[in-house]
Amino acid sequence: MSAGGGGRNKGFVSVRIFTAALATETNTFSPICVDRLAFEASLYARPGEHPETPTLCTAPITVGRRVCAERGWTLIEGTAAWADPAGLVNREAFEGLRDEILGQLQAAMPVDAVVLGLHGAMVAAGYDDPEGDLLTRVRNIVGPDIPIGAELDPHSHLTAKRVAAANVFTVFKEFPHTDFVERAEDLWRIIAARLDGAVKPVMSVFDCRMIDVFPTSREPMRSFVDRLHVLEREEPGVLSISVIHGFLAGDVPEMGTKVLVVTDDDREKGAALAEKLGRELYCQRGTFMMPQIDEKAAVAEAMAPAEGPVVIADMWDNPGGGTAGDATVVLGELIARGATDVAVGTIWDPIAVQICFSAGVGAEIPLRFGAKSAPFTGQPIDKLVQVKKLVRQAQQRFGDSMVPIGDSALVSFDGIEVILNTTRAQSFDYSLFEAFGIEPRNKKILLIKSTNHFYASFKRIAAKILYCSAGRPYPNDARVTPYRKAPKDIWPMVSDPLAE
């Protein structure tokens, strides 16, 4: 076993750090299950084979390469696996990937630290808390004195088991998640300081007893996050502050919003600050969410004259929240209203894509697509379409990373162009359209599928952005969602759970 912060870190023996990633976000109400192939379709990198650019949950690996190179430390890379959000993870898939990483860690021993890229909202068959299970097993391998750190997505579940197993979590502050590299840098800064003997990170958590949605692209969350940055810079002994937003579609026992404060060995101070900030969030519950309109209002407003494209975000048919991304409710309304000069990105339909590839570019074919995955997602679209472009392994940008959407087809009919894809992914960036030869700035209407991650990119080109709540592909109202395991004594299920 490594001596951790002892002699190994004083120049006698090179510091050795193990890193790996295992991540997905589980919508427990989604009918789309995740198997090993789903990870391989999105990201599966063997040790040392991770690309130079990070994905959303693998930035600890790419940042770690740089930090360790600068310090002359040895970085031992394990497997990196990410599956696009969907439903329950197959038990064999989770256990196989987990044990693969644990075996690599065991082979790497002794190590001075473990740094992981996780998401935090994975649920697998037989496991309400897969990340807690993984972290506990890591702790059992490395022993009590070796620092363990991980980066998390805020749309996660901060369980007591995870907090007990790890020394430090850093969490994306922004929604849309534009800061995953910066938060990985925070994580490595704290781990490095711990190895240098400069700090002893401890975590304090406050349970806000609520579940909400917290876009940082608007007030009041924008100012709240800005304050967190100020506190991290100016408050003595505070190493990191995070808000775990929670994940509405995760039916697990510890679902909900929490505030996490990491201090330099001052758990009491961290607890007081976490409670203060948590109660501030609680007092503003229900005010964070962006205004939403239905599909009829959204299409009517989008068809009005505007200088530049109007973006309709089909916010609850969001593959990033585990839905299929094949709902046609908004598209059906656009067709019914005779809208033209429209680009849609995307509708997930592997069968339709296969048909288009068989037909070839330029072919005019009858095609049925969309609305196959679940109830309340609209009706399949039946149109005579032209196959305009076929792209193998298409991608879009998301910050510093590239996100695959799989083999994809662009079809057109009646003044509407639709991108059909095979690998589910939300609409992160307008490069999605450019990959198919569409200039998004020149379109009248852009219909995309995302709750808010699209905002950072599309705000640069949009004349107007409309958040559309259409159909019911996602459980977006906790008051009526049929939870079986999630707490029933939090807001909005009860009006004031923190009342004295």
Q: Is the pLDDT of residue 142 over 70?
A: yes
Task: Answer whether 148's CB lies under 8 Å from 165's CB.
Answer: yes
Task: Answer whether 2's CB lies under 8 Å from 112's CB.
Answer: yes
Residue 56: the pLDDT is 87
Residue 401: the pLDDT is 85
Is the alpha carbon torsion for 321, 168, 45, 59 positive or negative?
positive
Among residues 293, 351, 300, 348, the alpha carbon closest in space to that of 326 is found at 348
Q: Is the pLDDT of residue 6 over 60?
A: no
Q: Could you report the per-residue pLDDT of 465-500, keeping only the tens digit for each?
A: 999 999 988 999 999 999 999 999 999 999 999 996
Residue 500: the pLDDT is 62
Q: Measured between alpha carbons, how far is residue 403 from residues 43, 48, 84, 152, 394 in Å?
A: 9, 20, 10, 19, 9
How would you list the strands of the sheet with 401-413, edge to edge?
A: 364-369, 381-398, 401-413, 416-421, 342-348, 445-448, 310-314, 464-468
The model's confidence at residue 399, banded by pLDDT at 50, 70 and 90, is: confident
Q: Which two tokens stand for residue 290?
A: 């962006």
Q: Could you report the per-residue pLDDT of 292-343, keeping only the tens digit for each?
A: 999 999 999 999 999 999 999 999 999 999 999 999 999 999 999 999 999 9
Residue 5: the pLDDT is 42
Separation of alpha carbons 467 and 293, rounded Å: 6
Please give the CATH topology (third level) of the domain spanning 7-283: Rossmann fold (3.40.50)
Half-sphere exposure in the Cβ direction for 223 (13 Å, CA): 6
Task: Answer whether 67's CB lies under 8 Å from 188's CB.
Answer: yes
Q: Which two tokens stand for residue 371?
A: 């609305």
SS3 label, residue 148: strand
Residue 55: the pLDDT is 87
DSSP-derived secondary structure for 463-489: SEEEEE--SSSS---TTT---SSS-SS
Separation of alpha carbons 454 and 369, rounded Å: 24
Among residues 181, 245, 240, 258, the alpha carbon closest in space to that of 216 is found at 245
Residue 223 burial (CB count, 10 A): 9
Mean pLDDT of the chain: 95
Per-residue burial over 380-406, b if 16 or more Cβ lie within 10 Å, else e, is: bbebebbbbbbbeebbbbbbebebbbb
Q: Which pTM was predicted? A: 0.91
Residue 135: the pLDDT is 98
Q: Could you report the per-residue pLDDT of 348-378, keeping only the tens digit for each?
A: 999 999 999 999 999 999 999 999 998 999 9
Residue 12: the pLDDT is 47
Separation of alpha carbons 331 and 223, rounded Å: 35
The model's confidence at residue 10, banded by pLDDT at 50, 70 and 90, is: very low
Q: Which two tokens stand for residue 155?
A: 């749309």
DSSP 252: -
Q: Is the pLDDT of residue 4 over 50?
A: no
Q: Could you report the per-residue pLDDT of 90-132, keeping only the tens digit for each?
A: 999 999 999 999 999 999 999 999 999 999 999 999 999 999 9
Domain boundaries of the chain, sorted by first residue: 7-283, 295-468
Q: Measured between alpha carbons, how far is residue 302 from residues 150, 298, 306, 393, 451 in Å?
A: 42, 6, 8, 31, 18
Separation of alpha carbons 263 and 271, rounded Å: 9
Residue 481 burial (CB count, 10 A): 16
Q: Is the pLDDT of residue 231 over 90?
A: yes
Task: Answer whether 352's CB lies under 8 Å from 420's CB.
Answer: yes
Q: Which residues neighbour 474 within 8 Å (Cβ) at sequence distance 6 or greater?
A: 27, 29, 248, 249, 316, 317, 318, 321, 322, 323
Task: Answer whether 29's CB lies under 8 Å from 475's CB.
Answer: yes
Q: Is the pLDDT of residue 7 over 80?
A: no
